[in-house]
Amino acid sequence: MLKRRSLLSLLLLIMFTSVTFLLASKQDINQFYKKTRVKHGLWHQYLDENMNPVTDTLDYKYLRHVNYDRGAIRGFVKHYYKNGQLYFEAYMTQFDPDGFADGIVYYFHENGKLMQQLQYENGRLNGTAIYYYDTGIMSSKGLWQNGAQAGHWSYYYSNGLPASSGVRFGNRKEGEWKEYFEDGKYSIGFYENNQKKGLWLYYDQKDVVIMTGEWLNGVRDGQWKYYDVQGKVVSGGSYTEGKKQGFWTEPTAGGGRSEGTYLNEEKTGEWTFYDSEGIMLYKGNYSANLRNGKWTAYDKSGKVSQELNYLNDKLHGVAVYYNERGLVSTRGEWDNGLQTGLWVSFSPDGKKLSEGLKYNGKKTGKWFEYYDDGGYETGPYAEDRHNGKWQYYNANGMLYAEGQWLDDIKHGTWTYFDSLGVVVSTGTMEGGKKNGNWQETGSRGEKLSGNYTNDLKNGEWSHSTAGGQLIEKGFFVNGLQEGIWYKYDKNGDVTAQVMYKNGEKVK
C-alpha cells in the first residue's frame, strides 16, 4: 500500500510540475520585487556540471527554475537537462546555499527514467534512499541519517539480481555482509571499519561451500581452502598481506589441480599439474611466475609424451614429442615461441617421415618427405608452401617425376619417368593442371604429342612410332576425339579416315 501511495504521489508531483511550468513560461522571469533588489517570482539560472552559475546560455549543463517570494524560495525547485528533460525536482520551504533541500527530492536520467529518490531533513539526507539505473532497474537502496549512510543497504546488478547487502555506519561497511557474483555464487563474512576481516565463506548457486578464506585489514591473510561438492578440501594455501606464499594446491580447468610454491604471489620452483582423476599431466619449473627450463608432459599411462624447454614462458630450445609406444614422433627446435631450426617427424614404428628447416614456425629451404614404401620426395619450401623444383624417387632411388611448384600449386615444366629413367611424359602445368604442349610416350615407345587445356586434351594431336613415323592424327575437344582422324602407312600415305563426334565413331 505504501509503495502504491508513493507512486501516486510521484505522478501527481510530475503533473503539477508540468502545469506550473506551462503557466510560468507565460510570465516574466528573473524579476525583482517592485523597486527593491529582492528576487521575486520565477527565475531561470544556467548551471555548469558542478551546479555553478554560468552566463553563457549556450554552453551549460543544467537549467534551474526557482520560485522566489520576496527573496525567499517557495514551492518547487527544478533543474532541466539541456535537452529539456527534467533532471531534479523538489518542493522546498527553504533553500540552503549549498543546494540541500527538505522533503523528498527526485532526480531523473536524461531519458526520463527516475535516477534517485532521496529524503532530506534540515538540509541533510535522512531516511530511505533509492537509486536506479537508466533502465529503471533499482541499483541500490538504503538508509541515511544526518547526511551519512546508516543502517541496512542493498545493491543490485544492472539485470536486477542482488550484488551485495549489509549494514553501513558513517559511510563504512560494518558487521556481516553478503556479496554476490554475477553468476549467482556468493560470499558471507564480516567488515570492520570498511575492510574485510576474519573468515569469509564462499558458496555456489546451490548454497554449497566451495571456498573459505581469511581476511585482515581488507586483504587476504591466512589460510584459504577450496572444496569439492562433497565438502572435501581439494586445494588451498596461505596468503600473507594479500600475497600467496609457500606451498599451494590450486584448481585447474576441467576439475584438475596444480601444486607448487609461491613467493610473493609468483610461482617459483617446480610445479606439477594433474587431471580430474589425479593423473599427472605435466611438470616443470617456474621463475617469477614464468615457465623456465625443462617441462615434461605425460600420457594417461604415465609415459612421457613431451619433453620441452621454456624461456620466459615461451618454448625455446629442443623439443621432443613421443607416441603411445614411447617412440619419438617429432623432434625439433623452438626459438622464442616459434619453430625455428631442424624438424624431423617419424611414423608410429619409428621410420622417418620428414625432415627440414623451419623459420618462425614455417617450413623453409630444402625438405625431404618419405613414403611408407621407401620412396621419397625432396624440394624447397618458402613460407610453408612448395616453391621451386621438386623431385620424386621410388623405393629403389630412381627418379620418377620432377617439376616446378609455385605457392603450393604445380606451375611450370613437369617430367615423368619410367622405372628405367626414360621420359614417359613432359609438358607444362599452370594452376595445378596440364596446359599447353605435352609429349607422351606409350607402352611400346610410340609418341603422342598435343595440347592440354585444364587437364583436357584440346586441339590437334598426333600419334607416331618410336622412330617418328606418323601413325595417326586428329583433333580433341575437351578431352574427346572430334572430327576426321587420319591414319597413315609406313610411307606416310593416308590409309583411312575416321569420323568422331563427342568421342564416338560415326558410321
From first to last of the 507 residues of the chain, give the pLDDT tens digit: 434 444 444 444 444 444 444 444 445 788 888 877 888 888 888 999 898 999 888 889 999 888 888 877 777 788 999 999 999 888 765 544 444 567 888 999 999 999 999 998 877 899 999 999 999 999 999 999 999 999 999 999 999 999 999 999 988 999 999 999 999 999 999 999 999 999 999 999 999 999 999 999 999 999 999 998 889 898 899 999 999 999 999 988 888 899 999 999 999 999 999 999 999 999 999 999 999 999 999 999 999 999 999 999 999 999 999 999 999 999 999 999 999 999 999 999 999 999 999 999 999 999 999 999 999 999 999 999 999 999 999 999 999 999 999 999 999 999 999 999 999 999 999 999 999 999 999 888 899 999 999 999 999 999 999 999 999 999 999 999 999 999 999 999 999 999 999 999 997
Compute the C-alpha angle 421/424/425, nearest 5°: 125
**Sign of the CA dihedral running 300, 302, 306, 309:** positive
Residue 181 maps to a domain: yes
Residue 56 maps to a domain: no
Distance CA 92, CA 248 (A): 61
Measured between its terminal Cα atoms, the distance across the chain in Å is: 104
Residue 336 phi, psi dihedral angles, 5° rounding: 55, 45
Residue 43 maps to a domain: no
**Cell triple for residue 62?**
543544467
Closest by Cα among 457, 459, 451, 404 to 432: 404
Residue 73 maps to a domain: no
Residue 444 maps to a domain: no
Domain assignment of residue 216, given as a range: 171-245
pLDDT the model gives residue 90: 81
Residue 483 maps to a domain: no
Closest by Cα among 251, 249, 252 to 260: 249
pLDDT the model gives residue 11: 44
Q: Are 149 and 171 in contact (CB under 8 A)?
A: yes
Distance CA 64, CA 286 (A): 63
CA distances for 199 relative to 152, 219, 236, 247, angstroms: 21, 12, 14, 20
Q: Are 311 and 292 in contact (CB under 8 A)?
A: yes
State the pairing for strand pair 62-69/39-47: antiparallel
Distance of CA 502 to the CA centre of its chain: 57
Q: Residue 15 carries which DSSP code? A: H
pLDDT the model gives residue 6: 47
Q: Which residues pair with 215 in a beta bridge?
A: 198, 220
pLDDT the model gives residue 73: 76
Residue 7 phi, psi dihedral angles, 5° rounding: -65, -40
Task: State how many domains the chain has.
Answer: 1
Q: Residue 255 carries which DSSP code? A: G
The structure's pTM equals 0.68
Residue 187 maps to a domain: yes
Residue 396 maps to a domain: no
Distance CA 480, CA 501 (A): 8
Distance CA 439, CA 467 (A): 14
Q: Residue 7 carries which DSSP code? A: H
DSSP string, 429-491: EETTEEEEEEEEE-TTS-EEEEEEETTEEEEEEEEE-TT--EEEEEEEETTEEEEEEEEE-TT
Q: Are 409 and 432 in contact (CB under 8 A)?
A: yes
Distance CA 141, CA 127 (A): 11
In terms of C-beta distances under 8 Å and separation of at least 24 residues, what long-range contacts does 150-159 make, across chains too? 157/182, 158/133
